[in-house]
Amino acid sequence: MIQALNLARQAGPETDPNPRVGCVLVAANGAVIGQGYTQQVGGPHAEVMALRDAAARCHSVAGATAYVTLEPCSHHGRTGPCCDALIAAGIGWVVASIADPNPLVAGQGFERLRAAGVEVEVGPGAEEARELNIGFFSRMVRKTPWVRMKMAASLDGKTGLDNGVSQWITAQAARADGHAWRARASAVLTGVGTVLEDNPRLDVRLVETPRQPHLVVVDSRLQTPPDAHIFIAGRPVWIYAASRDEKKAQALEARGATITCLPNADGKVDLGAMLKDLAARGVNELHVESGHKLNGSMLREGCVDELLVYLAPKLIGSGLDMASHIHADGPLTSLTGVLPLEFRSVDMLGPDLRIVARVAGRDAF
């Protein structure tokens, strides 16, 4: 199963919106006779790749055990059901890490395997398999993506100077790592303030990637310039607005943008509704890189699951905060009202510190 999990990690982000899955086929004598992982969306799943590998190596899989990191699918999508492929091949035993949360599967794959006389064991590697596909599980169970907010700051928590200058607080290693996290996400989200002030591309450039993530812009009044750098890469740009100005909308749509109006009672974008809409579009992981105002709004409205924070060994003093007004009732008067986090990892990247912190309890679904 460890080998299957390592294969799943090789699947990469191009499987989106499908989960990343690995499969290892083992003969009765303990020899590995086939292995594979999920291919680019629309391509074969891990089980089929493992069966093909065994066939290419002239191995019979009759009576073999399949170690797979997720329940074999049981429905027809872009490909056929993997459970049927395993049954047809004569697999005798399936050891799976965890059940598929997709309502189209959700135990039906296991049922069909057992009905065909295949022994099924579930559980080994469950935590690792779920964590590997936390965005897929979130989209299937909560109907929202897994939201990860990235921040780069000085040791005293400043993301820039009072005049807005912020390049570069962190060093090259941290910046490249940030691009790697962009690459694994289904989509990158920012606010129109960042687009207007920094005119960023927000694509993946510092690491190799098989595909560019979609870009999401929160822009209540459609202030995004049609010549903004976000349109350079030619990838899908989804703009969420509170109202539609027809002239502005047509200019942006001419650049390939998709505009969706989701107003809240305050005349701004309904962030919760936006997340549900992004899930419906197949977004598993949403990577947020925005300014302190939108950061604060997303934290305040409970839209963030995890923080990805890079801290540079510098002190700025007066400057821009990582997030503003994160509490709905204003400044706290008691520590009982703080937002509790759980450190997931702390690592050195060159001279900088990378912290991954999860909002306490957000992964309990």
Q: Which residues pair with 214 in a beta bridge?
A: 187
355-360: list long-range contacts, CB under 8 Å, 24+ apart.
355/307, 355/308, 355/309, 355/310, 355/311, 356/306, 356/307, 356/308, 356/309, 357/306, 357/307, 357/309, 358/305, 358/306, 358/307, 359/304, 359/305, 359/306, 359/307
Q: Which two tokens stand for residue 45?
A: 């799943």
Alpha-carbon gap, residue 136 to 101, rounded angstroms: 8
Name the burial class of residue 115, with classes exposed (0-12), middle (13-18) and buried (19+) by CB atoms within 10 angstroms of its CB: exposed
Whether 208 sits among the annotated catalytic residues: the reply is: no
16-20: list long-range contacts, CB under 8 Å, 24+ apart.
16/41, 16/186, 16/282, 16/284, 17/41, 17/136, 17/139, 17/186, 17/282, 17/283, 17/284, 18/45, 18/136, 19/70, 19/100, 19/132, 19/133, 19/136, 20/132, 20/133
Catalytic residue among 14, 47, 127, 285: 47
Q: Mark 168-190 as b/e (b = at least 16 C-beta within 10 Å).
A: ebbeebbbebbeebbbbbbbbbb
* Angle of the 2-10 helix axis to the 46-56 helix axis, nearest 10: 110
Active-site residue set: 47
